[in-house]
Amino acid sequence: MANEVLEKVGTSFIVANSSYSPGTNTILGTYSATYDIDVVSLADATARQSLKWDWGATRPMAFEIRQTVELSADAAGGSIDLYAYESHSATAAVGNTGGCTGADAAYTGYAGMTLAESLKNLDFIGSLITGIQNDTDGVVIGRVGMWAPKSRYGGIVIVNNSGIALHSDSVEAAVLFEPIVTEIQ
C-alpha cells in the first residue's frame, strides 16, 4: 500500500488592528489570534509595520496569504504591497531585518536609506491589486501569495502604492495567514 503526501489547512491567524470587524461578505475565514497592525488612513507611498510574533519552534513550511483593504476614494489602479521581516529573537527591537522595530508603527526603514532601499532587505510576499474602487464600492479582497518563514520570529510590512490613502478606520483591513501543512497519509 502506497502512502500519499497531502496538504491540509492548519489554524489560520489574522494580522489586523484590534478594531477589525469585517462584514459577513468580507471576512477572510476562520482564524485564531490577531496580531496588531493599524493601517488607518495609511497614506500613499508610505508603509506600516506590524507587531512581531512567534511563528513557533515547529511551523508549517508555507502559508497561503490573503488580504483585505478599504480605500478612502477612487484609486487610479495600483497595489498594496506586502513584505515580511524576520528575526532570531523574540525581543521586539532585536535582530529584525529591514530595520523593523517589532512594534505596530510607521515603517520608514533604515536611517540613511530610502523606503525603497530598505524594503529590499525584507521578503516580498506579493501585492493586492487595487483599481478604481472606493469605500462606497466595497472592500478589496484578494490572494497576495504564498510565503515560507525562515526564522522563528517576525512580522509584516504593508506598503500603500494605490495612489490614495486607505480608509479612515481599520475595520475591514486584515492579512490572513493560512498554514499549508504537509501530511503523510
Task: For the chain, give every domain's residue range.
Answer: 30-184
> Measured between alpha carbons, how far is 3 from 83 in angstroms, rounded to an integer?
36
The pLDDT profile of the chain, 185 residues, written as one tens digit per residue, is: 678 888 888 889 999 998 888 888 888 887 777 899 999 999 999 999 999 999 999 999 899 999 999 888 877 679 999 999 999 999 999 999 999 999 999 999 999 999 999 999 999 999 999 877 666 677 889 999 999 999 999 999 999 999 999 999 988 899 999 999 888 88
The answer to whether domain 30-184 has CATH 2.60.120 is yes
pTM listed for this prediction: 0.93
Pairing between strand 34-36 and 13-16? parallel
> Measured between alpha carbons, how far is 143 from 84 in angstroms, rounded to an integer?
16
| Whether the Cβ atoms of residue 150 and residue 86 lie closer than 8 Å to each other | yes
| Whether the Cβ atoms of residue 146 and residue 64 lie closer than 8 Å to each other | yes
